[in-house]
Amino acid sequence: MPFYAIDGVRPVVDPTAYIHPTAVLIGDVIIGPGVYVGPGASLRGDFGRLRLEAGANIQDNCTMHGFPGTETLVEVDGHIGHGAVLHGCIIRRGALVGMNSVVMDGSEIGPESIVAAMCFVKAGMKVPERSLVAGIPGKVIRAVTDEEYGWKTAGTRDYQTLARRSAATMVECQPLTALDPDRPPMNGGTTKPLFEVKKD
């Protein structure tokens, strides 16, 4: 896996975390227990510290970085969706940052909050606990409902399970040249998209 020291500073990865082999960790990166780091993620601790606490996930093609002397932090059970960018910010316990969102320097996403997909959280914004943030620039539009937070929590559990599944079973392989007869579709979790949950 591509781990790199810079100025003699090496990443620290808990043995129960799963880091995909195509993710890149550089320098002052600290990965806690049960963390999942997805394919293509770039965690560049070459200016400031980057830290993912227990049970957090940072998915495919995400970027974490920060200015010198800062710490970019995802607290326990934080959930960072595909393609998101975190720069010099704090994501508090149990919060979710949606796909392709950008969270800028000095901003803080409160515990159990949800940042909607494609949101731009401007520098220095402080999002209160259990808030839904959406838009460009991001604005607090209302409180997160119990149903929405339950959905988020289930999705985070699926990623914690994925870290264990990946560590136990993911191997590089050659593809098959034809589909196996009666091959069932992959069913690796129980979480449905939020719009489907709200229809139930």
Domain boundaries, the chain: 3-143
Q: What is the pLDDT of residue 197?
A: 80
- Range 61-80 average pLDDT: 98
Q: What is the pLDDT of residue 97?
A: 98
Nearest-angstrom CA–CA distance, 42 and 64: 6
- Range 48-76 average pLDDT: 98
* Predicted confidence band of residue 189 (pLDDT cuts 50, 70, 90): confident
Assigned CATH class of 3-143: mainly beta
Which of 10-19, 138-147, 173-182 bottoms out in mean pLDDT, i.e. has the lowest?
Answer: 173-182
Q: What is the pLDDT of residue 185?
A: 86
Question: In a 10 Å sphere around its CB, with 0-12 CB exposed, 13-18 middle and 19+ buried, how is residue 50 labelled?
Answer: buried
Residue 188 has pLDDT above 80, yes or no: no
Nearest-angstrom CA–CA distance, 70 and 51: 11
Q: What is the pLDDT of residue 12?
A: 98
- Range 98-106 average pLDDT: 98
Amino acid at 53: E
Residue 195 has pLDDT above 90, yes or no: no
Q: What is the pLDDT of residue 170?
A: 95
Q: 3-class DSSP state for residue 98?
A: coil
* Predicted confidence band of residue 1 (pLDDT cuts 50, 70, 90): low
Q: Are 64 and 72 in contact (CB under 8 A)?
A: yes
Residue 190 has pLDDT above 80, yes or no: no
Q: Are 149 and 112 in contact (CB under 8 A)?
A: yes
